[in-house]
Structure 1
Amino acid sequence: MTASAEHDPRGAHEQALLDGFLKLDTPEGYRAEFIEGEIVVSPPPIGDHEGILAVIGWQIAQRSSRRMDFSGNKGLELVRGDKCTKNHLVPDGVVGPNELGLFWGAPVWMPSDGVAMVIEVTSAKPEMDRWIKRHCYAKAGIPLYLLVDRMNKTVCLFSDPDGEGEDYREDIRLSFGKAIDLPEPFGFALETSEFQ
């Protein structure tokens, strides 16, 4: 046992869980994530969930002021500042500037450096997307978090991570049907009328 594990039994327990998580053989179509020391397994998404992502992906590809790369269900390893604890999340969408080539040769769990925005569309566990994942993305310093809340029929854009690793300083929430402005590097208003 390492000296740090002897002095931090919670950290040793979390590390053991993380090690087990990384060895999981998740059934086809399911998604496993390691979020704040808990293993979360989610079933495949329903059609409306994927339809919303398709609309967002198409608009990003067609309307962004810069060429952007989009990946659905890309594993991100999110590190909490200088702490050794890591979260392993699989956002519904990960977007970054094309010139960075984020996805080419990326490992299964890629670092979040260079990611411009992550996207989540609520499903079976909406509170996970609304609160826990939001804080994980802010802690990792991801500039933008777009949350499509199917239950509340709202689209939320969280921006400007607070630097303390707790949350985003800014959030805009609009009802489905209203366009939400995505700042640079996107530079367009995302239409949400098809989300209804």
Structure 2
Amino acid sequence: MSAMAHEPLTQEEVLLEGFLALGTPEGFRAELIEGEIVVTPPQDGDHETYISRIVRQVIRKSATDMEFSGNKGLKVPRGGLCVRNHVIPDGTFAPAEQWPFRGAESWMPCEGVSMVVEVTSTKPDRDREAKRHCYANGNIPLYLLVDREKSSVTLFSDPEKADYREVVTVPFGKSINLPAPFSFPLETADFL
């Protein structure tokens, strides 16, 4: 036999191949989070309103000219609690001068991303825990979580390994300071 024997695929490799080949229904999004394929239906109007209000403030008030992408796929490197994850934040911000999305494939690395935003929906613990660990592991400097169930906004910063070392939470109605490159207080009064 002259043909070379191929190494069998690991369970993780089979899962990743299946995930990448998945045909997701229009309007739905699929993610691979901690070894689980997660399919999410289109978001409700309140969810999108929170995102819109954040984007408007960031574009108008940031010290650095920022660009925004909604639902951009990010590949999170291995390590920590995350194992080869493919996540889709509700919102992704990066400085305009180093906009990492131009020419990027559907799933791109996290380099160049300044902040990701999630608004809780049907499974809030996924945003509070699993995605937080993934974004920290991807070394994304800031993770902003709008928690509709708790009526609060949390800013996670200073990523180290698979978590963030600094956490600030404010109730809806209070402002939360976004550090550089944003450098302004994000107002949440209209989240009430």
TM bucket (normalised to shorter chain) is over 0.9
Count of residues in correspondence between the two structures: 187
Q: Does the 8 Å CA contact 1:64/1:185 hold for their aligned counterparts?
A: yes
Counterpart position of 1:137: 135
- For normalisation by structure 2, the TM-score amounts to 0.93
1:171 aligns with 2:167: yes
Structure 1: 4+ residue segments shifted above 6 A: none
Q: Percent identical across equivalent pairs?
A: 56
Superimposed CA distance per residue, residues 128-176 of structure 1 (whole angstroms, 9 cap, x where no aligned partner): 00001000111111100000000000000000012xx221000000000
Q: Distance in 1 between matches of 2:15 and 2:79?
A: 20
Counterpart position of 2:7: 2
Relative to 1, partners in 2 of residues 1:81 and 1:100: Cα closer, same or farther, differing over 3 Å?
A: farther
- For normalisation by structure 1, the TM-score amounts to 0.92
The offset of 1:101, in angstroms, is 2.1
Q: Distance in 2 between matches of 1:80 and 1:187?
A: 31
Counterpart position of 2:118: 120
Counterpart position of 1:22: 20
Correspondent of 2:182 among 170, 182, 186 = 186
What amino acid is the match of 1:190? L
Q: Distance in 2 between matches of 1:34 and 1:58?
A: 29
Counterpart position of 2:3: none
The offset of 1:81, in angstroms, is 4.7
The offset of 1:14, in angstroms, is 1.4
Matches within 5 A, 1:34-183: 34-81=32-79, 85-162=83-160, 165-183=161-179
Partner of 2:128, secondary structure, is helix
What amino acid is the match of 1:186? F
Q: Distance in 2 between matches of 1:64 and 1:161?
A: 21
Counterpart position of 2:191: 195
Q: Does the 8 Å CA contact 1:30/1:42 hold for their aligned counterparts?
A: yes
What amino acid is the match of 1:184? A
What amino acid is the match of 2:144? L
Q: Distance in 1 between matches of 2:104 and 2:59?
A: 21
Provide the alpha-carbon RMSD of the alignment: 1.7
The offset of 1:85, in angstroms, is 3.8
What amino acid is the match of 2:139? G
The structure richer in helix per residue is: 1
Superimposed CA distance per residue, residues 38-84 of structure 1 (whole angstroms, 9 cap, x where no aligned partner): 100000000000000000000010000010011010000110259x9
Q: Gaps (5+ residues) in structure 1?
A: 6-11
